[in-house]
Amino acid sequence: MTRVNLVYTPRSEEEIAARVKAIEAILIEGGLMSEAGVDRFAAVYENEVGPRLGASVVARAWTDPEFKARLLADASAACHELGIGGLQGEHMIVVENTDTIHNVVVCSLCSCYPWPVLGLPPNWFKSMPYRARIIREPRLCLKEDFRLDIPQETEIRVWDSNSEIRYWVLPQRPAGTDGMGADELAALVTRDSMIGTGFPRAA
């Protein structure tokens, strides 16, 4: 008897979300996890585990010019040097914020995101309003939706991630941080600053 394995591939973001909800319900109803536990698990990977790894990469780039050059040339390879990589991070590109350029990242088709360095994508990154508006009117979107006022003389570049390439941002190092160590610098790096919808914390 021949055994056939059928693999079902969801066709849309809505289908994927529905499958996730179904799995959550099975875990909760089966007593394997509580609803609070599921929420906490998602929150940890969205706000803590992933972004901390990305922050460590940024801090290294701020303090090591040679590493920074390698990061901008081949982000996936540079992250691999630090033991960071894997699914959704096979081909990452880092774009650098400067005094004259501010970069912001979106996935206009779905929610492609560099999981190894940023963790799970926040809900707003996956929302249609963000995906549409940040491309159509990025300066206004950043100001009204994220309270990020970018000067008119600063060019805003929007980078559209996809299933093959995932972009993220190397934010500018905050002023007054010359004497800070890597751990202190990493603590200033926020998830949003690596998406381009925020700045690092002040020293």
- Domain ranges in the chain are 35-195
- Does 79 belong to an annotated binding site? no
Catalytic status, residue 111: yes
What is the assigned CATH class of domain 35-195?
Answer: alpha beta
Catalytic status, residue 110: yes
- Write out pLDDT tens, residues 153-175: 999 999 999 989 999 999 999 99
Taking alpha carbons only, the member of 132, 130, 131, 158 closest to residue 145 is 130
Q: Report the range out of 3-7, 102-106, 107-111, 116-120 with the highest average pLDDT.
A: 102-106
Asked whether residue 17 carries a pLDDT value surpassing 70, the answer given is no
> Residue 65 is inside which H or E element, if any?
helix 65-73
Query: Of the listed 79, 112, 161, 193, which one is catalytic?
Result: 112
Q: What is the pLDDT of residue 20?
A: 64
Asked whether residue 1 carries a pLDDT value surpassing 50, the answer given is no
Asked whether residue 5 carries a pLDDT value surpassing 50, the answer given is no
Instruction: For residues 150 and 132, give the distance between their C-alpha atoms in angstroms, rounded to a whole number.
Output: 19
- Does 110 belong to an annotated binding site? yes
Catalytic status, residue 112: yes
- Write out pLDDT tens, residues 86-97: 888 899 999 999
Catalytic status, residue 79: no
Query: Of the listed 56, 76, 79, 107, which one is catalytic?
Result: 107
